[in-house]
């Protein structure tokens, strides 16, 4: 299939490009007339043209679109794609407010094209390994999950719209959407209660950019989840951040280090300890299916790891939680 990028505002879209090329699909161009550095960089890196309109995608016979437009314009691209029969994979989040959520619901219900969102963590090898541990009963019944996700702010590499909360969505919508989705996938139980906080303690040159977020959620069966994210990761660290997940069950505990050991062995890792076995580092085999391959399965009407209803569920939840969160400014 021929594919193109419509909106090239975040480096996340590079994963989609690379995976589609690995699958043998043809990359034909980028539609993005902004002066942000990524469209020109990727056009040169992949030797593809910058196209002047979405209509050019129809002329070129494009069937699949990767959408990394600014967050408040992603649905414009998705609706255009659906109206022209093009399948669309969109970087997260899709909706940043209730109006966008309604538009997403309508797109999913019409079932005109395949709709994907880059909830990449379901496809991370370390998290696939965790999923198997849980499903196989190695940890027993789940009791608590804690997510820690410090990120680099890297303000000098961000487009201007990133610093507007009404456009970007903020930490809960933009980042913790991953963790809310992971709980839906790993646990699969309804939420009973939640509370959240957005805090601004630094980065005062950007008044709408809250630098810390915390969610506390109680699921059916009184399983608890704590989700923390921030823009406070030191810039000298080579990784994007230091994501960690701690999972406690009735039989054991697991720790996921998505960036590996920052002072030692690189790469993601899974550490398991149980009532009968001391702590051990587990092998993390390659994931059996990647995000883009899973999306192609949706296009073919096959069973998938990630479905449109999963996308809606986590996007709806984070919008609701963001709206209810206390906003605190130093």
pLDDT tens digit sequence for 171-215: 999 999 999 999 999 999 999 999 999 999 999 999 999 999 999
Do β-strands 326-329 and 191-200 pair in parallel, antiparallel, or remain unpaired? parallel
Do β-strands 142-150 and 244-249 pair in parallel, antiparallel, or remain unpaired? antiparallel
d(Cα 199, Cα 51) in Å, to the nearest integer?
40
For residue range 277-310, list pLDDT tens digits in order: 999 999 888 888 999 999 999 999 999 999 999 9
In this model, does residue 165 exceed pLDDT 90?
A: yes
Q: Are 297 and 74 in contact (CB under 8 A)?
A: no
Give backbone dihedrals phi and psi of 320, rounded to 5 degrees, phi first: -65, -45
Which residue range(s) make up the domain with 243?
121-290+320-329
Q: Are 24 and 48 in contact (CB under 8 A)?
A: no
* Same domain flag for 181 and 44: no
Q: Are 106 and 60 in contact (CB under 8 A)?
A: no
* Same domain flag for 170 and 270: yes
Do β-strands 269-274 and 252-257 pair in parallel, antiparallel, or remain unpaired? antiparallel
- Is 305 domain-assigned? no
d(Cα 145, Cα 254) in Å, to the nearest integer?
10
DSSP E strands, 74-211 = 87-90, 115-117, 142-150, 191-200
Per-residue confidence (pLDDT) for residue 240, from 0 to 100: 81
pLDDT tier, 123 (very low <50, low <70, confident <90, very high otherwise): very high
* Same domain flag for 36 and 106: yes
Per-residue confidence (pLDDT) for residue 285, from 0 to 100: 86
Domain boundary among 93, 118, 143: 118
Per-residue confidence (pLDDT) for residue 241, from 0 to 100: 83
* Same domain flag for 86 and 153: no
In this model, does residue 328 exceed pLDDT 90?
A: yes
Per-residue confidence (pLDDT) for residue 275, from 0 to 100: 94
Looking at residue 164, the DSSP 8-state letter turns out to be: -
d(Cα 212, Cα 329) in Å, to the nearest integer?
10
Domain boundary among 118, 142, 169: 118
CA 57, 108, 225: angle at the middle one, nearest 5?
115
Lowest mean pLDDT among 49-58, 94-103, 131-140, 281-290: 281-290
Sole residue written with tokens 């090898």: 125
User: Residue 2, class by beta-carbon neighbours within 10 Å (0-12 exposed, 13-18 middle, 19+ buried)?
Assistant: middle
Domain boundary among 67, 85, 118: 118
Q: What percent of the chain has pLDDT over 70?
A: 100
* Same domain flag for 147 and 264: yes
pLDDT tier, 237 (very low <50, low <70, confident <90, very high otherwise): confident
- Is 299 domain-assigned? no
* Same domain flag for 67 and 157: no
Average pLDDT, the chain: 96
Give backbone dihedrals phi and psi of 281, rounded to 5 degrees, phi first: -90, 125
- Is 314 domain-assigned? no
Q: What is the mean pLDDT of residues 256-270?
A: 81
Per-residue confidence (pLDDT) for residue 288, from 0 to 100: 87
Secondary structure (DSSP) of 104-143: HHHHHHHT-S-EEE--GGGG-HHHHHHHHHHHTTTT-SEE
**Structural domain count, the chain:** 2
């Amino acid at each position: 299939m021929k594919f193109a990028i419509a909106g090239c505002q975040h480096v996340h879209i590079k994963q989609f490009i690379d995976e589609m090329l690995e699958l043998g699909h043809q990359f034909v161009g980028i539609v993005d007339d902004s002066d942000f550095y990524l469209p020109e960089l990727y056009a040169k890196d992949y030797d593809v043209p910058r196209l002047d309109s979405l209509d050019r995608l129809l002329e070129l016979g494009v069937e699949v679109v990767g959408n990394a437009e600014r967050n408040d314009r992603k649905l414009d691209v998705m609706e255009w794609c659906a109206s022209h029969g093009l399948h669309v994979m969109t970087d997260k989040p899709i909706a940043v407010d209730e109006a966008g959520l309604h538009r997403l619901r309508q797109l999913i219900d019409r079932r005109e094209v395949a709709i994907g969102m880059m909830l990449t963590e379901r496809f991370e090898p370390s998290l696939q390994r965790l999923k198997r541990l849980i499903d196989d009963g190695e940890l027993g019944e789940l009791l608590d999950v804690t997510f820690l996700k410090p990120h680099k702010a890297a303000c000098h590499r961000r487009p201007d719209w990133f610093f507007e909360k009404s456009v970007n969505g903020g930490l809960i919508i933009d980042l913790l959407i991953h963790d809310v989705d992971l709980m839906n996938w790993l646990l699969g139980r309804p939420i009973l209660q939640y509370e959240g906080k957005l805090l601004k303690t630094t980065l005062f040159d950007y008044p709408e950019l809250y630098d810390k977020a915390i969610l506390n959620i109680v699921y059916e069966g009184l399983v608890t989840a704590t989700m923390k994210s921030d823009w406070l990761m030191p810039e000298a660290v080579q990784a994007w951040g230091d994501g960690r997940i701690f999972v406690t069950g009735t039989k054991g505990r697991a720790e996921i280090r998505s960036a590996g050991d920052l002072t030692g062995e690189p790469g993601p890792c899974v550490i398991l300890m149980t009532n009968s076995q001391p702590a051990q580092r587990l092998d993390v085999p390659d994931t059996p299916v990647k995000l883009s391959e899973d999306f192609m399965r949706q296009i073919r009407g096959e069973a998938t790891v990630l479905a449109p209803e999963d996308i809606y569920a986590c996007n709806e939840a984070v919008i609701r939680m963001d709206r209810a969160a206390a906003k605190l400014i130093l």
